[in-house]
Structure 1
Amino acid sequence: MRWGDMDAYGHVNNVEILRILEEARIHAFGPPGGTGGPGQEPLVPLFSALPAGTQALVVEHRVRYLAPLTYRNIPLDIDVWVSSLKAASVTIAYIVHDPVTGEACAKAETTIAFVAAGTGRLLRIDGEQKALIRPFVGRPVFA
């Protein structure tokens, strides 16, 4: 968490929660190919191993705020897993926990679709991608 993530009430702002979820998603599944520099390998290289010209785009976010998350200068605990794997989309689920109390502060899901960069055409998830994802459907990537 960052100091600037707080809102006027001293809680982590709801918009910052989406950024935190993005960081957890990238940590688990990798950054989109061709972005950033070398770093830690993702646990599941789903996004970093996409074929050239393929984009992973957010289709939808759903967030349920369960309890205020106050700023602490230590990392959050976030469970991340795949809640749904469909022909052309994958839904990633999260539970954000207060790192001191362990209380669940937010439950969320992000649906991602793969599209062809040049045309914007929706792409089906191929067998190799499904093989990467299947072990984490309903099972935490990291907790």
Structure 2
Amino acid sequence: MTVEVPMRWADMDAYGHINNVNLVRMMEEARIAAFGVPGGTGRPGAEPAVDLFTSVPADTQTLVVEHRVRYVRPLDYRNVPAPIDVWVSAVKAASFDLSYTFRDPVDGHECVRATTTLAFYSTAAERLLRIPAERRAALREFLGDPLFS
């Protein structure tokens, strides 16, 4: 699915590009817009397109394990939101990947390809959790779906 994430003036570096640190922030905003606010982290606003995070048990956190970012070309600051395609790209026993493609909002060129690996963590047991079968099935429902690629 495609979500639009605002580019802020402060996101820009000295070259007029969106700074790499701010691209990771934009990944987070795209992830939340697409899949919901992680449970226990505040109050959700707008309904996400697909709720993968809000409905986790109260003692479960959704943690970022790793980010991988490939810069294809600079994403220039524009005074309009950047379209970001975000989708489930892998589902494993205890983690899953979300992938992103950033496009320039004016000319449509691909600028950034990225992936975030996430895992569920039990605060009560103090350990990573295997993804329950029903949540794995929900994640796989969007794996390879043309709407999410």
The alignment's TM-score, normalised by the length of structure 1, stands at: 0.93
Which residue is equivalent to 1:95? 101
For residues 20-99 of structure 1, the aligned pairs below 5 Å read 20-99=26-105
Which residue is equivalent to 1:104? 110
Give the drift of 1:140: 5.8
Pick the aligned partner of 2:139 from 130, 133, 139.
Answer: 133
Which residue is equivalent to 2:4? none
Distance in 2 between the 1:37 and 1:71 partners? 30
Distance in 2 between the 1:119 and 1:93 partners? 29
Which residue is equivalent to 1:19? 25
Structure 2, unaligned stretches of length 5 or more?
1-6
- Residues 28 and 142 in structure 1, CA contact (< 8 A), matched pair in contact too: no
Distance in 1 between the 2:79 and 2:146 partners? 25
Amino acid at match of 2:141: P
Aligned residue-pair number: 143
Amino acid at match of 2:22: E
Q: Identity across aligned pairs (percent)?
A: 60
Deviation beyond 6 Å, 4+ runs, structure 1: none
Give the drift of 1:119: 3.5
Give the drift of 1:34: 2.8
| RMSD of aligned residue pairs (Cα, Å) | 1.5
Which residue is equivalent to 2:3? none
SS at match of 2:145: coil
Of 15-24 and 73-82, more deviation after overlay is shown by: 73-82
Distance in 1 between the 2:12 and 2:146 partners? 28
The alignment's TM-score, normalised by the length of structure 2, stands at: 0.90
Give the drift of 1:132: 1.9
Amino acid at match of 2:79: N
- Residues 88 and 148 in structure 2, CA contact (< 8 A), matched pair in contact too: no
